[in-house]
Amino acid sequence: MSWLVAAVVVTIVVIWIGVHRLEQRHSQDPKTWPIVGAQLEALRNFNCLHDWYLAFFNHRHRTVKLSVISGTIFFTVDPLNVEHILKTNFPNYPKGERAHHIVHDFLGDGIFSSDGEIWKKHRKVASLEFSNRKLRDFSSDAFREGALCLTKILQSAASSKKIVDLQDLFMRMTLDSICKVGFGVHVAGLSPDLPDVPFGRAFDRVNELTTLRFFNPFWELQKALNIGNERVLKQEVETLNSFTSNVIQKRRAELQGQKETRADLLSRFMAYDEGQPGAFTDQELRDAILNFVIAGRDTSAITLSWFIYCVCTHPHVADKVFEETVEVLGLQERTHKYDFEEVAKRISYETLSRMHYLHAALTETVRLYPPVPRDPKVAFGDDVLPDGTQVKRGNRVAYVPYAMGRMEFLWGEDALTYNPDRWLQDGVFQPESPFKFSAFQAGPRICLGKESAYLQMKMTAALLLHFFRFQIASGHVVRYRITLVMPMANGLLVHVLPR
């Protein structure tokens, strides 16, 4: 009888699965299985996840429903939905407790992971400082110094015909810069010998392992047992905590007795409500540091990496950036008449503001390769999106900049083409609605560091393309890696050639 019971059970299960799949035959969303939903499909496509999401969108199907073990997620590329989520009904779409819990070991209660009063506190101080001209001038000097260090390393590589990993160099440069601008610390990752930077290495590893938590329903068990990825994550977080603790203690000692607050962001945060109940604790300062690093280091370095990849595949863009730099900086004669320092000295906030084509080329890079490819929220209460999608309390809702940048209904038939001219009218850069070009968010959470990021990226790109050409190394495969941001999985290996 046992074999008969087993046969009946198997038959019922097969029929159940068959009916479940049959009911979805007309669905445009990812197909699901009983109980596990589309979890297995998502994991199977993990390495190309952004393109897997992209495949479900079109001009008629702008919101995709993904059912997984942990619940329902709606992904949208509809600008009206994006505006509703980020602005119109902003209070209903916080980051949410689940996301906060997953990233807390990494980002704590910083500006990117928190909601409510904690977020408002971090946002208030950051917004005041990013509008401070003193910080902008301080940042310009730090960015120029970093770009010059990078230029000299690339000159050596060009002379020796050595292949370099530009993404690694950009990451080193932006880490040096954010540590100087953010915390007044000299990391020296771009020293000629390219030393190992334990903090940067640990930061990348924690970023990657934290992302995997979103797809691993058993991560909390692994953390409790201190096994697998969670054991590694714990060790790497300790490296981050040691670095930030040393930075905070050193800065407190340096600020003792000083009457004037230093220009770096950490000093400004320390000065906020000093001696009052609202002052930042060391834990809050630790969280602020790591949030600034992911904002000021990863996003700019990733965009610069994809930018060089784009100009390698579209060399005429690099030539036009070069010509614009020559014209705006007043370099009437060609490169060999000027040294690196002379050209860098002429690159300022004011001159960069006149480089419209360079701004367009970087923005076109962000359109196709946004450093933050998707941004999830959670519904605080039931809601209906402008396209009619019914959202229940607890559902996650994410807008997807990576897919939005590839939608023909938003950008035309050449949406997949890298074309900086789409951003220009009579040679002048024309911005798009942040609900269409959503890489920098919009509404109350719009990116505070957008101007600072463009400043560093434009300063670096203008200097590099003035002196060098780049060619992707033969056989090098360029693809993204799945983390909280979108770096290149294999780096960016290039030949460096003098212009």
Summarize the annotated binding site for heme as residue ranges: 447
Q: What is the dihedral of CA 69, 70, 75, 80, to 10 degrees?
A: 140
- All residues at 6 or more sequence positions from 200 whose CB lies less than 8 Å from its CB, including other chains: 171, 172, 175, 187, 189
Answer yes or no: are the C-beta atoms of 221 and 194 closer than 8 Å: no
CA–CA distance, 87 with 33 (Å, rounded to integer): 35
Beta strands 63-68 and 375-378 are unpaired
* Run of H or E including 83: helix 79-83
Which residue has tokens 């996003």? 299
Give the CB-side neighbour count of residue 391, counting CA atoms within 13 A.
Answer: 29
- All residues at 6 or more sequence positions from 337 whose CB lies less than 8 Å from its CB, including other chains: 331
Answer yes or no: are the C-beta atoms of 358 and 461 closer than 8 Å: yes
CA–chain centroid gap for 455, Å, is 16
CA–CA distance, 315 with 309 (Å, rounded to integer): 10
Answer yes or no: are the C-beta atoms of 377 and 385 closer than 8 Å: no
Integer Rg of the chain from CA: 24
Per-residue CA distances from 163 to 149, 318, 499 (Å): 17, 19, 16
Angle between the N-to-C axes of helices 166-183 and 282-293, in degrees from 0 to 180, rounded to the nearest 10: 150
Annotated binding site: 447
Q: Which two tokens stand for residue 410?
A: 């938003």
Nearest to 62 by CA among 406, 377, 376: 406
- DSSP class of 223: H
- All residues at 6 or more sequence positions from 429 whose CB lies less than 8 Å from its CB, including other chains: 356, 359, 360, 363, 423
Angle between the N-to-C axes of helices 166-183 and 198-213, in degrees from 0 to 180, rounded to the nearest 10: 100
How many residues are there in the chain? Answer: 499
Per-residue CA distances from 397 to 92, 201, 380 (Å): 11, 31, 11
Q: Which amino acid is at 326?
A: V
